[in-house]
Amino acid sequence: MILEAAIGDAYGAGFEFRDNDYILQHNNLTKYHVHGLHDEIYKRYTDDTQMAIAVAELLLETNDWTELKVANKFVEVFHRDKRRGYSDRVYNALDASKNGEDFIRIIDNRSSGNGSAMRAYAIGFLKDIPTLLRLCEIQAKVSHNTPEGISGAKRIALAVHYYRYRLEEKGSLVDFLNTTLEENEHYEITSPIDMHCYPTTRAVIKIVSEADAMEDCLKKAIDFGGDTDTVAALCLAILSQKKNCNSTLPKFLFNELENEAFGRDYLMQLDNNLALKFGDHL
């Protein structure tokens, strides 16, 4: 799951907030592209996956979460492998922090951006929905303590849970989300896809609920434009748990993805560890 998300993240980063003509010309799933602002983001995942790694690592360690434990993990993972892609708000706060206490003190956590959702998918491995919702809220409050930030994180984790534990027999994904979260959301896509939590999660849920192949989904997610790395990462993470979804992707996406200390092999091991802890239902 995290490997697939990292692939979507790294490929999508080359199209993040690019104009439509650029996307139309280059989004053909034949090679990675350099990020428009940060040259070092090339065949590499961004903050989206790095923060998801932090959440997954903490989930493997304990379910007894506090905002401080989450913040400590964010700071730890950032400083061992600094990379771009973060908003200035989050990057500067992490960079100035030595521990979670520093981060909580420095960060303005009133954001309604999609950062709380982009990192939440591993929480969907939890079978107990009240615990899932509680952990989503705790991690969201660290940097996105807003109704939008909290609800968006829950939407993504619940989508993973829905497909992983085969809840399709009980109704649609949208019905499951609306019932569980006591919402009445009409999931739709507004292009280009905005980086705030609601438009991002609305688009992602719409895309994955209709998808039956990762390759087609990846291209489609990029074609909408906007926050392409986040949308692509979330779509592939969720689809990795969807039964009868063709998981075939162009080989270059795997073969050329970074493989340094926290690259491809590390992500695969993290996925294996999650499967061992929570059971491999695929």
Q: Assign residue 233 the CATH number of its domain.
A: 1.10.4080.10
pLDDT higher than threshold 70 for residue 165: yes
263: amino acid identity, one letter: G
Given pLDDT bands bounded at 50, 70 and 90, which one contains residue 85?
A: confident
Query: Are 136 and 120 contacting, i.e. CB atoms less than 8 angstroms apart?
Result: yes
**Whole-angstrom Cα distance, residue 58 to residue 216?**
32
Bridge partners, residue 213, by sequence: 246
Query: Are 157 and 121 contacting, i.e. CB atoms less than 8 angstroms apart?
Result: yes
Minimal CA–CA distance to 117: which of 5, 37, 10, 7? 5
Paired tokens of 126 = 């939890």
Q: Which residue has the tokens 């829905």?
A: 162
Paired tokens of 99 = 């521990």
Average pLDDT over residues 265-269: 98
Number of domains in the chain: 1
**Whole-angstrom Cα distance, residue 147 to residue 201?**
13
Please give the share of the chain, as a percent, with pLDDT higher than 90: 93
**What does the pLDDT read at residue 246?**
97
> What is residue 103's three-state secondary structure?
helix
Query: Are 150 and 141 contacting, i.e. CB atoms less than 8 angstroms apart?
Result: yes
**Whole-angstrom Cα distance, residue 70 to residue 191?**
33
pLDDT higher than threshold 70 for residue 199: yes
pLDDT higher than threshold 70 for residue 282: no
> What is residue 196's three-state secondary structure?
strand
Query: Are 256 and 30 contacting, i.e. CB atoms less than 8 angstroms apart?
Result: no
Distances (CA, A) of 72 to 93, 99, 137, 266: 12, 5, 16, 20
Write the CB contacts of 74 (distance below 8 Å, at least 6 apart in sequence): 51, 54, 94, 100, 103, 142, 143
Q: Which domain holds residue 103?
A: 2-278
> What is residue 243's three-state secondary structure?
coil
Handedness of CA 133, 139, 140, 145 (dihedral sign): positive
pLDDT in tens, 228-240: 999 999 999 999 9
Distances (CA, A) of 219 to 28, 51, 194, 231, 249: 7, 24, 17, 11, 11
pLDDT in tens, 107-157: 999 999 999 999 999 999 999 999 999 999 999 999 999 999 999 999 999
pLDDT higher than threshold 80 for residue 280: no
DSSP state of 213: B
pLDDT in tens, 20-73: 999 999 999 999 999 888 888 899 999 999 999 999 999 999 999 999 999 999
**What does the pLDDT read at residue 281?**
59
Given pLDDT bands bounded at 50, 70 and 90, which one contains residue 77?
A: very high
**What does the pLDDT read at residue 242?**
96
Instruction: Give the DSSP letter string of 1-22.
Output: -HHHHHHHHHHHHTTTT--HHH
Minimal CA–CA distance to 84: which of 50, 112, 46, 115? 46
Query: Are 209 and 174 contacting, i.e. CB atoms less than 8 angstroms apart?
Result: yes
Average pLDDT over residues 6-24: 97
**What does the pLDDT read at residue 164?**
96
DSSP state of 183: -
**With a threshold of 0.95, does the pTM exceed it?**
yes
Mean pLDDT of the chain: 96
Average pLDDT over residues 178-190: 96
Query: Are 212 and 188 contacting, i.e. CB atoms less than 8 angstroms apart?
Result: no
Distances (CA, A) of 65 to 58, 69, 204: 8, 6, 27
